[in-house]
């Protein structure tokens, strides 16, 4: 477990002291988080890191997980896809079953927290219990709701509107609601294996293991092999640059090996790479955090050329390593990069190629982008800021007005 005091070396002692000052307002209070899975997925990852830190701040933080069977999770998977805009019709029967599972969980769950924080659609129906237990309730949608299929959205909106407040990860994910909406971006943990400082020997070891030459420019995209991450587009952009610059390209990421689409994307990537010995396609197993960290730290430029993105935390991870980042202006990425100040935002393969060439040829400017990018992440996208935002969310539920003197 990471000692919260270690964060002082990252954010400064005064920032950490002030976080403790804020946490004092929650002395003796219980913050109860509820979601649908204890492992896997972004929400579980955030809570796994955050709960121990909240406890060290003196807050009684709890985490409960609802139970569901296969039918329930098939329905919630369909809801998830519908929220992403896929036209999936869910039957009235399935909506009823979804609510029934929520009610069964509500009947068994101990709602003794002072603040109840429900994550994502799966447990959303627990709010029906509010009449009985009272308390302050907030709901957080972690997925991109910008263009949902309306049948599912309309169903969920009835329940969201029963909470005291809703939280979204990016401005474009928010919808018209009857309750206050708060922006809370996700975060990275600067002390986790994926982000911590690494000795130069570790970086060199990883590069030599994959036979990548650090004496020449290295352009890297870390992401799973998925059409939405556009790995083929990355190779096309790289080929345009390769005519002028002797650079290497690394495409590294994981993904489910039994995912038929993943295998198809890998195949297309291999065809596009066309036996170019300077293109490295690395399929990394789970628990490759140190390798990913090393690949990012040892690269010249990092890319995130997604066609669609949730928040896109890989961009924060890249910027945290003081690297110049070129990324698509989609999802939450524009929140992380101010174009030409803390990174580069592009829309096309040509634009990506243009900026790759520019940044390789202008290392001074590229370095400054990296320095600014790291500072931006330090101030806005670390786990300590995320904790602060959660505390403010619950304080806001009983402190109205634009300016609150505590």
Partner 1 sequence: MTQNGVEFHFKTKFDQTILLGKKAKSVAELLKNIKSVPDSSIYFHTHKFLQQHHYLSPEPPNDFAYWVSTVLSEDALGEGLSSIDVIQFRRIDDLRQSIAEVIEKFLSSGPRNVEAAQGEEFYFMALKIFVLPTPYTAHTLTDFKNFLKLVSIQSLYYHIFDARLRLEQGENDFSIFFRKLGHDRLAEEILRLDPYTHTLEGLRQKVLKLVDQYD
Whole-angstrom distance, CA of residue 130 vs CA of residue 118: 12
Stretch (H or E) spanning 201: helix 200-209
282-301 mask for partner 1 (x: CB under 8 A)?
--------------------
Min CB(156)–partner 1 separation in Å: 16
Q: Which is nearer to partner 1, 288 or 306 (CB)?
A: 306
User: Minimum CB separation from partner 1 for residue 222, in Å?
Assistant: 23
CB environment 246-270: b (16+ within 10 A), e (fewer): ebbbbbbbbbeeeeeebeebbeebe
Min CB(198)–partner 1 separation in Å? 24
| Non-local CB neighbours of 406 within 8 Å, separated by 6+ positions | 25, 395, 399
Residue 119: phi, psi to the nearest 5? -110, 125
Q: Where are the alpha helices (DSSP H) in 329-382?
A: 333-336, 349-361, 363-380
Contacts 24+ apart (CB under 8 A), 210-214: 210/250, 210/280, 210/282, 210/295, 211/280, 212/248, 212/250, 212/280, 212/298, 213/248, 214/298
Considering only 181, 193, 202, 358, the residue that binds partner 1 (CB under 8 A) is: 181
Region of 376 please: left (phi>0), alpha (psi -120 to 50) or beta: alpha
Note whether 169 binds partner 1 by CB under 8 A.
no
Our finding on whether 281 is near partner 1 (CB under 8 A) is: no
Q: Which of residues 316-335 bind partner 1 (CB under 8 A)?
A: 329-331, 334
Instruction: Restricting to residues 91-120, name those near partner 1 by CB under 8 A.
Output: none
Contact flag: residue 21 with partner 1 (CB under 8 A): yes
Please name the helix (run of DSSP H) or strand (run of DSSP E) that holds residue 205, with its range, or none. Answer: helix 200-209
Q: Which is nearer to partner 1, 1 or 406 (by Cβ)?
A: 406
Rounded to the nearest angstrom, the gap between the alpha carbon of residue 13 and the centroid of all alpha carbons in its chain is 26
Query: How would you label 57-68 residue by residue, b for 16+ Cβ within 10 Å and e otherwise?
Result: bebbbbbbbbeb
Residue (135 or 388) nearer to partner 1, CB: 388
Could you tell me the smallest distance in angstroms from the CB atom of residue 338 to partner 1? 6
Binding residue for partner 1 (CB under 8 A) from 180, 193, 239, 278? 180
CB of 24 vs partner 1, minimal distance in Å: 9
The count of other CB atoms within 10 Å of the CB of residue 279 is 21
Report the nearest approach of partner 1 to the CB of residue 234 (Å): 20
Closest distance to partner 1 from the beta carbon of 288 (Å): 31
Site string for partner 1, 117-156 (x = CB under 8 A): -----------------------------x----------
Structural contact between residues 232 and 269, judged by C-beta atoms closer than 8 angstroms = yes
345 to 404, contacts with partner 1 by CB under 8 A?
A: 345, 372, 375-376, 379-380, 388-389, 392-393, 395-396, 399, 401-404
Q: Which of 93, 176, 258, 274 binds partner 1 (CB under 8 A)?
A: 176
Q: Kindly state the smallest distance separating residue 227's Cβ from partner 1, in Å.
A: 18
In terms of phi and psi (left: phi > 0; alpha: psi -120 to 50; beta: otherwise), the region of 177 is beta
Please work out the total of residues on this chain that contact partner 1, with binding judged by CB under 8 A.
47
Pick 205 or 389: Cβ nearer partner 1: 389
Residues 351 and 306 sit within 8 Å (Cβ to Cβ): no
- In the complex, the smallest distance separating the C-beta of residue 79 from partner 1, rounded to whole angstroms, is 22
Residues at the interface with partner 1 (CB under 8 A):
12, 14-15, 17-18, 21-22, 146, 168, 171-172, 174-177, 180-184, 329-331, 334, 338-339, 341-342, 345, 372, 375-376, 379-380, 388-389, 392-393, 395-396, 399, 401-406
């Amino acid at each position: 477990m990471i000692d919260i005091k270690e964060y002082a070396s990252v954010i400064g002692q005064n920032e950490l002291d002030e976080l403790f000052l804020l946490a004092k307002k929650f002395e003796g209070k219980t913050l109860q988080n509820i979601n649908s899975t204890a492992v896997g997925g972004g929400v579980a990852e955030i809570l796994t890191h955050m709960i121990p830190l909240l406890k060290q701040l003196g807050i009684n933080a709890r985490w409960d997980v609802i139970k569901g069977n296969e039918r329930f999770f098939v329905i919630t998977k369909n809801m998830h896809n519908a929220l992403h805009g896929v036209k999936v019709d869910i039957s009235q029967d399935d909506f009823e079953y979804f609510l029934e599972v929520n009610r069964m969980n509500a009947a068994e769950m101990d709602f003794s927290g002072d603040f109840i924080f429900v994550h994502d659609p799966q447990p959303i129906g627990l709010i029906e219990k509010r009449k009985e237990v009272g308390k302050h309730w907030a709901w957080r949608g972690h997925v991109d709701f910008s263009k949902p299929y309306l049948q599912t959205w309309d169903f969920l909106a009835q329940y969201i509107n029963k909470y005291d407040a809703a939280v979204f990860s990016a401005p474009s994910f928010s919808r018209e609601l009857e309750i206050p909406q708060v922006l809370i971006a996700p975060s990275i943990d600067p002390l986790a294996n994926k982000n911590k400082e690494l000795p130069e020997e570790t970086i060199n070891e990883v590069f030599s293991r994959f036979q990548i030459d650090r004496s020449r420019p290295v352009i890297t995209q870390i992401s799973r092999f998925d059409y939405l991450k556009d790995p083929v587009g990355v190779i096309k952009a790289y080929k345009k640059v390769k005519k002028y610059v002797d650079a290497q390209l690394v495409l590294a990421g994981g993904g489910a090996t039994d995912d038929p689409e993943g295998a198809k994307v890998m195949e297309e990537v291999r065809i596009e790479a066309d036996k170019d010995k300077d293109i490295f396609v690395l399929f990394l197993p789970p628990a490759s955090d140190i390798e990913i960290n090393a690949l990012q730290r040892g690269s010249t430029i990092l890319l995130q050329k997604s066609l669609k993105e949730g928040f896109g935390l890989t961009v924060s991870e890249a910027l945290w390593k003081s690297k110049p980042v070129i990324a698509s202006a989609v999802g939450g990425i524009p929140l992380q990069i101010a174009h030409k100040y803390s990174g580069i935002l592009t829309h096309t393969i040509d634009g990506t190629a243009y900026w790759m060439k520019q940044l390789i040829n202008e290392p001074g400017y590229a370095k400054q982008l990296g320095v600014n990018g790291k500072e931006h992440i330090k101030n806005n996208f670390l786990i300590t800021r995320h904790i602060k935002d959660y505390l403010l969310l619950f304080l806001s539920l009983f402190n109205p007005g634009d300016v609150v003197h505590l």
